Amino acid sequence: MMRFYRAVWRLVERIPRGRVATYGQLAALLGHARAARAVGVAMRHCPPGVPWHRVVNARGGISVRGNVAAMVTQRIRLEQEGVTLRSGRVSLPRWRWRPTRGRRLRLAALDRL
DNA sequence: TCCGTGACACAAG
DNA sequence: CCTTGTGCCACGG
């Protein structure tokens, strides 16, 4: 159980420092283009160690709900990594993580867990 | 098996 | 820019 969530966490761990990915982007990379919401739920149950703060919504904004502390933490951590926010949003063209396809990102392998 | 729950995305107004 | 409304879907009860 929770196969999808675990695949999401593993993928999030691949996001480099100073870069961000969107919920929809991660879902698509996992081959579930329409499961962006599920990715959000996966983030809410993130096990320690997963760089959840590098995941933002399609507009580059912070989507954390009902948790002011986490919301602030995400902004602080992103800034510490050099990601700049303007009006609470990051420029996706500038900071979006673009994984190199091919041997490195093995979707089949990710899907298997 | 059915049903409610979201850290989504996108289109309208 | 903001606010709704709608479509989507993995998960757990």
User: For residues A5 and A35, is the Cβ–Cβ distance under 8 A?
Assistant: no
Whether the predicted pLDDT of A101 surpasses 90:
no
Whether the predicted pLDDT of A72 surpasses 90:
yes
Nucleic acid strand B within 7 Å of A40 CB:
yes
Whether the predicted pLDDT of A113 surpasses 50:
no
CA of A103 to C1' of C4 (A): 43
Nucleic acid strand B within 7 Å of A22 CB:
yes
Whether the predicted pLDDT of A105 surpasses 50:
yes
Q: What's this model's pTM, rounded to 2 decimal places? A: 0.92
Average pLDDT, chain A: 91
Nucleic acid strand B within 7 Å of A38 CB:
yes
Please give the protein residue whose CA is closest to the C1' of the nucleotide C11.
A2
User: For residues A5 and A113, is the Cβ–Cβ distance under 8 A?
Assistant: no
Confidence of residue A109 (pLDDT cuts 50, 70, 90): very low
